[in-house]
């Protein structure tokens, strides 16, 4: 199983012990201040020095923040454009790594797959899934990729946990930036990590020149385009411009996107989190 390590720059709020820094007071190691023993604080943490210096002569008890769990949720784009090449396998591989990493960290995991319409084509409720890393890839291999996916989804928050979560947004993002901006605005309560799944063949020109028919699998639009030696340069420039636009927009709403091109490297995603939380 592939695994990566993730960190969050904010404090969790769950009362369940876990791996992440939290605002919850409990049996952790992060000192949070003192409280009077009379308030019901744990007498095992009496601070003799602080008690002797208390002007009212009260026993002072050390308080600590515990570490807590963080909900980890995946929103996957199962639109028709995601069927290109080995994108379905890449999506399944990344999803399995997220599910396994969440389980190993002790965090609950949930999955929402959007294909055609607002109702998820695949929905795994948020809980500790030991087998999700094995079962979800098989389920995705049976799922038809169709429709416009995330581009038309309006009620994602209805399928997500209300608590602030670490949300992985998996897509090729081949839809208008205005729709992505609306999506990111609606997901603002959460910490969203956009994972951009691209294949290098998307900007490679065809092997031959001439007129070639093009078909948009999501909208059904068709047209014929003349391909020539300059087409490859134009395609590369278009994807470079798209990469800059995605990076700028996603940064505005939280995190920069993580690009997965052709293959997934878990250690690169671990480095992404280390750099963003440094």
Taking the CB of residue 225, how many other CB atoms lie within 10 A of it? 11
Triad 178, 89, 85: Cα angle to 5°: 70
DSSP 86: T
- How many Å apart are CA 70 and CA 115, to the nearest integer? 27
CA torsion 114→116→117→118, rounded to 10°?
A: 0
The CATH classification number of 72-276 equals 3.40.50
| Closest-CA residue to 245 (of 191, 189, 180) | 180
Spatial contact of 206 and 183, defined as CB atoms under 8 Å apart: no
CB atoms closer than 10 angstroms to residue 269: 24
pLDDT of residue 178: 93
pLDDT at position 165, please?
A: 95
Run of H or E including 18:
strand 17-36
- How far is C-alpha 62 from the chain's CA centre? 36
Q: Helix, strand, coil shares of the chain as percentages rounded to 5?
A: 35, 30, 35
The tokens for 177 are 């930036």
Structure tokens at 186: 């609606």
Beta partners for residue 67, in sequence order: 21
pLDDT tens for each residue of the chain, 278 residues long: 899 999 999 988 887 888 888 776 666 666 666 777 777 667 777 777 878 788 887 888 777 667 889 999 999 999 988 998 999 999 999 999 999 999 999 999 999 999 887 788 999 999 988 889 999 999 999 999 988 888 777 678 888 888 899 999 999 999 999 999 999 999 998 999 999 999 998 887 666 667 667 656 656 677 777 776 777 678 889 899 999 999 999 999 989 999 999 999 999 999 999 998 65
Q: Which residues make beta-bridge pairs with 170?
A: 76, 195
CB atoms within 10 A of CB 244: 10
Q: How far apart are CA 143 and CA 201, in angstroms?
A: 23
pTM value is 0.84
Instruction: Supply the pLDDT for residue 265.
Output: 96
Please list the residue range(s) of the chain that carry CATH number 3.40.50: 72-276
């Amino acid at each position: 199983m592939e695994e990566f390590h993730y960190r969050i720059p904010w404090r969790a709020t769950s009362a369940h012990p876990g791996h992440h820094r939290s605002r919850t007071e409990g049996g952790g190691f992060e000192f949070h201040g003192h409280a009077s023993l009379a308030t019901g604080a744990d007498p095992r943490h009496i601070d003799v020095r602080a008690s002797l210096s208390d002007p009212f002569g009260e026993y002072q008890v050390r308080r600590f923040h515990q570490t807590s769990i963080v909900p980890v949720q995946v929103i996957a784009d199962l639109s028709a454009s995601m069927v290109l090449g080995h994108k379905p396998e890449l999506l399944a591989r990344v999803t399995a790594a997220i599910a396994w990493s969440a389980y190993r960290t002790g965090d609950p995991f949930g999955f929402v797959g959007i294909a055609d319409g607002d109702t998820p084509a695949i929905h795994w409720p948020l809980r500790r899934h030991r087998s999700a890393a094995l079962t979800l890839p098989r389920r995705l291999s049976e799922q038809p990729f169709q429709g416009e996916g995330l581009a038309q989804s309006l009620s994602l928050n209805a399928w997500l946990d209300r608590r602030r979560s670490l949300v992985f947004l998996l897509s090729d993002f081949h839809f208008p930036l205005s729709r992505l901006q609306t999506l990111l605005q609606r997901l603002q309560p959460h910490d969203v990590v956009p994972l951009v799944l691209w294949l290098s063949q998307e900007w490679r020109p065809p092997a031959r020149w001439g007129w070639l028919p093009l078909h948009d699998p999501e909208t059904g639009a068709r047209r014929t385009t003349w391909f020539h030696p300059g087409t490859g340069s134009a395609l590369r420039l278009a994807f470079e411009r798209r990469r800059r636009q995605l990076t700028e927009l996603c940064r505005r709403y939280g995190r920069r996107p993580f690009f997965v091109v052709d293959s997934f490297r878990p250690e690169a995603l671990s480095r992404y989190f280390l750099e963003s939380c440094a």
